[in-house]
């Protein structure tokens, strides 16, 4: 018989184990095959991920696309969603210290309903392309006020980003726009505007790269993206032009 287990472990991680029949197993393997293929970086540099890591990334991407498609059933009066709670201080401290530290994983934490604590870096990544509700708490953590929900990227903005970026803007990536997140260059939670000059399309893998490493990105005067690698990759941090769709001759 079919079995599937998802168990919570330490540090918010989840261990997955299952046994599927031939038909559903074939469905899973078929979908994972394309999503876990090696993805060379710009210049032909080989994908450094192990096969197991690529399959895990592919499975996470499969979940993300299903979530984005909005096909899940109603539960508790709303579509399936992830609720993340974090303090305003932790979210703003991250912005101030991100360029000064090799890692910001230890700067406070956010909380999810199902698996507990996650890093503030991860919380900010999730907040890039989601619905945010401001809830004011007193010193004891009791809600005093609930603000309006704020959508970070509208449908017209996503269409415009698809035209401008053509998909994931990270150099060498070929992920189409429909599978990308709208990343805030200056985060919305610390005053970054939700306009095209502050938004950029990134696939899940490169979205995590921007949030968890020292890669930086800007939108230049020509409205094209420019990426700056961390010093560990290029000590001079020379700018690298991002992807953009071909223009008509």
Please tell me the distance from the alpha carbon of residue 92 to that of residue 28, in angstroms, as a whole number: 40
Domain end: 96, 127, 151, which one? 151
- Of all residues in the chain, what percent carry a pLDDT higher than 70? 69
Q: Are residue 141 and residue 159 in the same domain, yes or no?
A: no
φ/ψ region of 223 (left if φ > 0, alpha if ψ in -120 to 50, else beta) reads left
Q: Do residue 141 and residue 175 come from a single domain?
A: no
Question: Could you tell me if 235 and 162 lie in one domain?
Answer: yes
Q: Tens of pLDDT along 14-29? A: 899 999 999 999 999 9
- 134 within some domain: yes
Residue 73, φ and ψ in degrees, nearest 5: -75, 165
As beta bridge partners, residue 15 has 7
Residue 247 placed within a domain: no
Beta strand spans in the chain (E) = 3-8, 14-19, 84-85, 109-112, 116-119, 131-137, 143-151, 181-184, 199-202, 216-219, 225-228, 240-241
- Res 221: pLDDT: 87
Number of structural domains (the chain) is 3
Q: Could you say which of 126, 151, 176 is where a domain stops? A: 151
Residue 74 forms part of a structural domain: no
Kindly state whether residue 79 falls inside one of the protein's structural domains: no
Yes or no: say if 64 and 31 are a contact pair by the CB < 8 Å rule: no
Among the three residues 39, 69, 99, which one is the final residue of a domain in this structure? 69
C-alpha distance from residue 186 to each of 1, 86, 91, 94, 200 (Å):
49, 18, 12, 12, 11
> Same domain for 125 and 203?
no
User: Is the pLDDT at 104 greater than 60, yes or no?
Assistant: no
33 and 52 together in one domain: yes
C-alpha to C-alpha distance for 146 and 134, rounded to whole angstroms: 6
Q: What is the pLDDT of residues 41-95, one digit of tens each?
A: 766 778 888 999 999 999 998 988 887 777 766 555 455 566 667 666 665 555 5
Q: Are residues 142 and 168 in the same domain?
A: no
Each residue's pLDDT tens digit, 132-148: 666 656 566 655 556 55
Rounded to whole angstroms, the Cα distance separating 202 from 176 reads: 9
User: What is the domain extent for residue 94?
Assistant: 84-151
8 Å CB contact between 245 and 220: no
Task: Judge whether 194 and 183 are in contact, CB under 8 Å.
Answer: no
- Is 90 or 214 the better-scoring residue by pLDDT? 214
C-alpha to C-alpha distance for 198 and 218, rounded to whole angstroms: 8
Q: Are residues 215 and 230 in the same domain?
A: yes
* CB contact at 8 A, 140 and 203: no
Instruction: Round to whole Å and give the CA distance between 121 and 132.
Output: 16
pTM for this entry: 0.60
Q: Does residue 121 fall inside a structural domain? A: yes
Tell me whether residue 184 is in a domain. yes
DSSP 32: H
For residue 226, being part of any structural domain is answered with: yes
Assigned token pair, 150 = 């704020």
In angstroms, rounded to a whole number, what is the distance separating the alpha carbons of residues 52 and 124?
A: 26
d(CA 120, CA 141) in angstroms, rounded, equals 18
């Amino acid at each position: 018989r079919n079995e599937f287990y998802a168990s919570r472990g330490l540090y918010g991680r989840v261990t997955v184990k299952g046994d599927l029949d031939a038909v559903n197993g074939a469905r899973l393997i078929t979908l994972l095959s394309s999503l876990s293929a090696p993805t060379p970086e710009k210049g032909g540099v080989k994908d450094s991920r192990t096969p197991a890591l690529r399959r895990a990334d592919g499975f996470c991407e499969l979940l993300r696309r299903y979530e984005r498609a909005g096909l899940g059933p109603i539960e508790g009066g709303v579509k399936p969603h992830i609720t993340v709670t974090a303090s305003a201080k932790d979210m703003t401290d991250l912005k101030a210290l991100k360029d000064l530290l090799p890692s910001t994983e230890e700067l406070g934490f956010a909380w999810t309903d199902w698996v507990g604590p996650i890093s503030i870096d991860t919380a900010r990544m999730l907040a890039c392309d989601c619905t945010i509700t401001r809830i004011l708490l007193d010193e004891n953590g009791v809600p005093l006020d609930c603000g309006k929900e704020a959508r970070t990227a509208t449908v017209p903005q996503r269409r415009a980003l698809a035209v401008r970026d053509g998909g994931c803007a990270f150099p060498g990536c070929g992920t189409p726009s429909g599978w990308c997140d709208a990343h805030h260059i200056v985060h919305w939670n610390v005053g970054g505007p939700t306009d095209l000059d502050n938004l950029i399309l990134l696939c899940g893998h490169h979205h995590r790269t921007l949030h968890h490493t020292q890669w930086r990105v800007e939108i230049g005067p020509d409205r094209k993206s420019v990426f700056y690698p961390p010093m560990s990759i290029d000590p001079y941090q020379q700018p690298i032009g991002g992807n953009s769709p071909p223009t008509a001759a």
